[in-house]
Structure 1
Amino acid sequence: MRELTPEPLTAAAFAPFGNVIEATDAATKLDINQGHAVRYDRLAELDVADEGGTGAISLFRARPLEELVLKQFERHPLGSQTFVPLSGRPYLVAVAPAGEFDAAKIRLFGAEGHQGVHYRKGVWHHFLLVLDESDFLVIDRAGPGDNCEEISLPPPEQIRVLIRRHNT
């Protein structure tokens, strides 16, 4: 079984798959609300209109896997998908490029509790990989059409996730 260790989630490293949602100096910033707030503008572009789709906001409550093994990936060919953590806890992001699925191209990122991710339409990704129960605000596509394709990895292609837990 192949093993992967998470790499840090950065905008540059994640760019082939989508966007990292976080307040950084690189973002376009606008002072709003009479100077009492800063808007970090257009951190990602929603892409949900194919086949009459619309944007939808949901809340996901995710629980940790019993064993951190990547066995299944999915993609959404009709719309992008955004996950913003609400619990402030670190989590993992496993992705592979859009197109024909290639297990050799899977990448694993360690996201901090203040970082969200925006998957471009068609990007392969594992479902939420949390280390502790966590809530996420999810922005994705609602509407007609088949917008979820799943692929299961045969046992020889499954990937064990190696992480270091810090004692605090």
Structure 2
Amino acid sequence: VRKRPGLENVGIILLSSVYNKAAYKRSPTSLHGADDYLEKHHISDQLIAKVRRLTAGSDGAAPSGPADKKGSGPADESRESMEEINSRVRQAEEHEVTPDAGDDVSLEKARRLARIIVSDIALYNEERVAEGIRSGNFYRLLESEIQEGRRLFAERVSEDIRRKRDLLQEAF
């Protein structure tokens, strides 16, 4: 993103793509050039603070509403912003991969989800991925993460789509 003209100084927050409360998680070992990291389930309570921290001291100050508006203090603006963000997050989650979407659309969404899962595995396990590639035992070293990825994929993608192609394996 930063290589595009005019975007050199843009702040980037790396957002995890899959969240499972029961799964073991740890912070990524590298942010791959991003300025900060945020897990999906913390969007509603941490995103605004992270954006403000990234924009502090820059010319892009956070927009504020009209000053003469009655009862629109910082707390009200923050609450309204949080409600708007939460609404957008819920809408986005409703449009994630669903089994009843059209076949081509579902296949493409499943393919995208497979790439995201594989990317997350690589992001959180950089050293083991590199070791697995070097030693030729990639799948054995990451067996538990791959199984967890397959479980998440099966939860989100219909059996019909999964039977047509092994999209997760193709993403590796």
Q: Same fold (TM over 0.5)?
A: no
- Structure showing greater radius of gyration is 2
- Structure number having the greater strand percentage: 1
Instruction: Considering fraction of residues, name the structure with more helix.
Output: 2
* Structure of higher RCO (CA pairs closer than 8 Å, 6+ residues apart): 1
In the superposition, the TM-score normalised over structure 1's length comes to 0.24
Q: TM-score, normalised by structure 2?
A: 0.23
